[in-house]
Structure 1
């Protein structure tokens, strides 16, 4: 029988058809002929594809274009094409792209319905759909029928929204040295688990919360009465109790719950703010400036179109007459109005005449001087120490002054921390005014669709509600009372009515708001470590007014002091006299 010998086979170890690109035999007759590798699963579709001459396809115009490389069924989705990383020997290099043009002789089909055309119909359709979409949105969310999807404008006066800029909460002096800069997306990744705090001392007097306010509805609204009471908002360094605790080396860091909540909720903030940091020895003091952003309450800070102070002129048409924002609905006026409502709702919703009787805490109010004659508001101060150490060897403790506004009768002894509550108020100004954030009319929806109202407030006032919740958790309050206060007339910001009051547990409300205490403590610890690396001195932590960034500046010790302001005033008087 004749013998049969198997010829030599040059197998491709990479799994493709054809010879291996390396180690060709010397007598291989196809050695110098270019070859484009492809997978065995690929199917040949076109020899050339002239429809797409951009990007990588333009470089491989002359090569065999496989069905798999065009997203076909020859290969599982997402897998890399075999040989796609190898340089193509068939690549067609265009030396001068300007000399090449693709001629399309097909007749154009006119579009209808406000597609991607840019005629008058698109501008009209976009504007009308944007307005209708905003009106039909649920819970303040735009349904998206407007210009972005139909090719028209996204909304009325979009050019103005893009050009709006906010001023910094503090004037940045050119002599200040910027030391650190942290973006919010980095802050959002921080985590630190902190144990239950240690209670040091408690000061002040607490009145009982008036439970009749829990039964108020839109049909039994109650007017908001201005109440003349004294409530202190003293900064950290001026607190006599904190000064005594610092002298005893009680902690490393000292702050108030208002300042600490801003820091812990920093990634949610939109409006500018600043915190003065003073390092004395191995101690840090977080302070606020008098008249700064910590003394007022924001309104719709997180709304997609928040309230504005002024209308910027159209750069394309400076002579155009635009409707001005009413003064009562400007961001500054709304902030003052919300602060007034918060204070008076807290004063009004407690029982000052027994029963039930007021409760005196361990020590009297530390800020009430002997010369004061006006009555004090219901307020209790609890000084608590949190351990921020990561290991047992670290001794980094934070002493914070927390506040509670009232106590709940029948819940236990308030002096021992039972039945404590904080009282806050949300305010409605005009649901049809700019900056309302798509909020529903409270008088129509608060009783029947409270969930929609709450969802809208959680969206428009995410930062404010988060700060209130964090303050309640820091103080160890068992409940939060949030009143819904509206204007008696949308055009009058001096008369208000209470429409309802909601009760919630701070921990549960924090979960609804997606507030992470561990993230907040991680931010506090990171800022503490950053400041402890610096030498002794004064610094200011500034939130950029238009970007999600915080920056740390080194400032002179005389900055933000009364003496400096007086010297500047005296200098201006001298200049005026010389003039």
Structure 2
């Protein structure tokens, strides 16, 4: 049997073994006969008495042996005990995940601030000249966004300043109001039911009716309204069109500047608009968080050009939904009176319904005679079509309008949302076009149109303003859509009655209701008689 001889390597001068001794060689001379690698761990012996280590006292801890036993593991074959209160564990996990996300957000915010700081440092190094140039561009952009539709003159007399936040507080009891028809004019055509089959996968090209005259006369140019004002038996106090009245109702949602002219004569009020004003346009994404910018690199996506494009698209859309030809005519009324100047032209097919609304005093009105009497308002309303085979001749009326896609480069385009997210798309458009949709719903309610046919129109190519296609036509009940948007008839008529009461108390003359571009207020000015015939032109109509 093999045996080893114990050899002691002792050094009288040091704490460590003597490096000059031959004891190791004598002891390990025959180690080649054994199948293992020689290792005496002599290097570790020097650390036993090394007092230079500050953590020497911790060397007595059992943890010092951990490196030698790091490959040793215990395996427990018993099943892991199930927790009895699982909701505690879920709550802990939820809180941990929330804390993790908060930590991630804090880190991202810190990185963003760091990048912003570096960016600001570079801007400061660029010098004051570059800063002044950038500031000039910013101020120029803001000035374009805040242009006045009409510039008030110093000679104008300020009558009132109405905060837009006060308009939703005006109410009127509509159950006490009455409606009567003055007359019907134009052509009432049948709705083309094939429009309901349009989808993003089966779009329809929007036919261009460029050779057709689309008329939008103001109140003073309408012979029917003028004659109604002059008839004593009708006892009319106010004359207005549905387009102008809808603008007043949607004033609280408006972002752009606009103005309406009001003439007070013989105790009667006539509400007018200037030709070519922003009231004639159809705004696109006016109330969006990111509205179109007037200095957009793509000129086709600037607000004014988008408004003209949407106006033309809607004019064509109202004719596309009708059955063309004589077979589509449901009823032919008297010719449109203000179309006599365009007898040689092809005038649009539309039905005009003239009505008188009797409005009782609003809640909280003053005790003056004008505020307490019943006001009779003559309005010209529009009807675009009627459903074929309607239950009665006074039902199934359709008011048709369309939205234009503004930026198809977004992640969710109309083509994708209309397939599976129609409700979400409508909610988004109500948020982005609250002012315009409120106007359309108001016009539909005034003409007693049961249905609002809302079309979705897109460009064939992103940069082509002239060629469009319809990718969907959604049908909504007017009252249900109005309720979804928060439009109440009591509030709509309350706003109109409040403005009528204010202007009725003023002396005869011409007035301007101006939506200011900066402050969220409506200002009412009285124009001196010598300047009433020389009003400034609408600045919005001359933009671009």
- TM-score for the superposition, normalised by structure 2: 0.69
Query: Which of 366, 371, 377 pairs up with 1:398?
Result: 377
- Cα deviation for residue 399 of structure 1 reads 1.0
Query: Which of 331, 337, 350 pairs up with 1:379?
Result: 350
1:421 aligns with 2:429: no
> 1:165-176 alignment to 2 at 5 Å?
165-176=145-156
In the alignment, the residues of structure 2 paired with residue 181 and residue 460 of structure 1 have an alpha-carbon distance, to the nearest angstrom, of 27
> 1:243-322 alignment to 2 at 5 Å?
243-249=226-232, 250=234, 251-310=236-295
- Cα deviation for residue 199 of structure 1 reads 1.4
* Aligned CA distance change for structure 1 residues 514 and 393 (closer, same or farther; 3 Å): closer
CA contact (8 A) 1:429 1:487 kept: no
In the alignment, the residues of structure 2 paired with residue 388 and residue 239 of structure 1 have an alpha-carbon distance, to the nearest angstrom, of 22
1:183-217 alpha-carbon deviations (Å, 9 max, x no partner): 01111211112234111211111111111011101
Match of 2:223 in 1: 240
* Aligned CA distance change for structure 1 residues 393 and 295 (closer, same or farther; 3 Å): closer
- Cα deviation for residue 161 of structure 1 reads 8.4
RMSD after superposition: 2.8
- 3-state DSSP class of the match of 1:237? helix
- Cα deviation for residue 165 of structure 1 reads 4.0
CA contact (8 A) 2:145 2:294 kept: no
Segment drifting more, 542-551 vs 196-205:
196-205
- Cα deviation for residue 117 of structure 1 reads 8.3
Q: Which structure features the higher share of helix residues?
A: 2
1:102-151 alpha-carbon deviations (Å, 9 max, x no partner): xxxxxxxxx961446884246699xxxxxxxxxxxxxxxxxxxxxxxxxx
Segment drifting more, 276-285 vs 227-236:
227-236
Match of 2:415 in 1: 443
> 1:97-108 alignment to 2 at 5 Å?
none
Match of 1:407 in 2: 386
- Cα deviation for residue 160 of structure 1 reads 9.3
1:524 aligns with 2:524: no
In the alignment, the residues of structure 2 paired with residue 215 and residue 559 of structure 1 have an alpha-carbon distance, to the nearest angstrom, of 55
CA contact (8 A) 2:173 2:360 kept: no
Give 5+ residue unaligned stretches, structure 1. 1-110, 126-156, 311-323, 433-437, 567-579
Query: Which of 436, 439, 463 pairs up with 1:467?
Result: 439
Larger-Rg structure: 2
- TM-score for the superposition, normalised by structure 1: 0.65
In the alignment, the residues of structure 2 paired with residue 181 and residue 537 of structure 1 have an alpha-carbon distance, to the nearest angstrom, of 18
In the alignment, the residues of structure 1 paired with residue 297 and residue 532 of structure 2 have an alpha-carbon distance, to the nearest angstrom, of 32
* Aligned CA distance change for structure 1 residues 553 and 337 (closer, same or farther; 3 Å): same
- Cα deviation for residue 412 of structure 1 reads 4.2
* Aligned CA distance change for structure 1 residues 203 and 163 (closer, same or farther; 3 Å): closer
- Cα deviation for residue 325 of structure 1 reads 2.5
Match of 2:475 in 1: 503
CA contact (8 A) 2:188 2:331 kept: yes
1:46-95 alpha-carbon deviations (Å, 9 max, x no partner): xxxxxxxxxxxxxxxxxxxxxxxxxxxxxxxxxxxxxxxxxxxxxxxxxx
CA contact (8 A) 1:114 1:122 kept: no
- 3-state DSSP class of the match of 1:279? strand
- Cα deviation for residue 449 of structure 1 reads 1.5
* Aligned CA distance change for structure 1 residues 124 and 163 (closer, same or farther; 3 Å): farther
- Cα deviation for residue 467 of structure 1 reads 0.6
Segment drifting more, 479-488 vs 186-195:
186-195
- 3-state DSSP class of the match of 1:464? helix
Match of 1:37 in 2: none
- Cα deviation for residue 556 of structure 1 reads 3.4
- Cα deviation for residue 390 of structure 1 reads 2.2
- Cα deviation for residue 358 of structure 1 reads 3.8
In the alignment, the residues of structure 1 paired with residue 283 and residue 311 of structure 2 have an alpha-carbon distance, to the nearest angstrom, of 8
Match of 1:128 in 2: none
CA contact (8 A) 2:170 2:494 kept: yes
- 3-state DSSP class of the match of 2:314? helix
In the alignment, the residues of structure 1 paired with residue 535 and residue 252 of structure 2 have an alpha-carbon distance, to the nearest angstrom, of 32
In the alignment, the residues of structure 2 paired with residue 241 and residue 199 of structure 1 have an alpha-carbon distance, to the nearest angstrom, of 12
Match of 1:60 in 2: none
- 3-state DSSP class of the match of 2:213? coil
1:405-438 alpha-carbon deviations (Å, 9 max, x no partner): 1111111454xx3221111011113233xxxxx6
Match of 1:431 in 2: 408
> 1:211-222 alignment to 2 at 5 Å?
211-222=193-204
Paired residues, number: 404
